[in-house]
A = this chain, B = another copy of it.
Amino acid sequence: MRVIGVDPGTAITGWGIIESSGNELKMVAVGTIITAAGTPLSKRLQIIYEELTKIIEQWQPSAAAIEELFFSKNAKTALAVGHGRGVAMLALANADLPITEYKPLEVKQAITGHGGADKKQMQQMVKLLLSLDDIPRPDDAADALAIAICHLHSARLRLLE
């Protein structure tokens, strides 16, 4: 099973593709889609949509996972992330991938076993679980891998039920 995890944004969209074979998790590819600050919003959204569509075509995941976001305070940030997340979800849906959304707490629990983990602990666990030499950079790439791992864990738990 090959999964794409996406950490959406307007400036940086993190993505990571992992697969499971038996008990092992393997990172297939990871990266970020970066759009320059001066670019018109509509152009940035086109870039996110096109790049993500190309990544899906290249790596052929069979499922997608994305973080369910909650903003309690910064409405401006929420609006900006909403734009990027909307077109990212559209790219995944137009590629006929089933999309599962996970709450940040679910991702933390799936990766570290508890909901109180900090960013650094999360990234260490992503490195460990995928047997990587280093923590993937930037944070958005590591976060995307964490979401993909969360989905594979959850899929495995569903099989055991």
Contacts and interface: CB of A to CB of B under 8 A. Distances in A.
A80 B69 CA distance: 10
Report whether over half of chain A's contact residues are helix, strand or loop; otherwise say mixed. helix
A25 to B, nearest CB: 25
A82 B76 CA distance: 10
Interface stretch (A91-99, A110-118, A128-136): A91-99
A89 B47 CA distance: 12
Contact of A75 (B73, B85, B86): B73
B81 A46 contact: no
B71 A75 contact: yes
A43 interface: yes
A46 B78 contact: no
Contact of A89 (B45, B75, B78): B45
Given A75-B74, A76-B78, A78-B71, A46 B94 contact: yes
> Which range contains the number of A residues in contact with the other chain?
20 to 34
A71 B85 CA distance: 17
Nearest to A80: B82
A106 B40 CA distance: 19
A79 interface: yes
Contact of A86 (B40, B45, B71, B101): B45
A87 B85 contact: no
Contact of A85 (B76, B82, B90): B82
Contact of A70 (B72, B76, B93): B76
Contacts of A45: 86, 89-90, 93
Contacts of A153: none
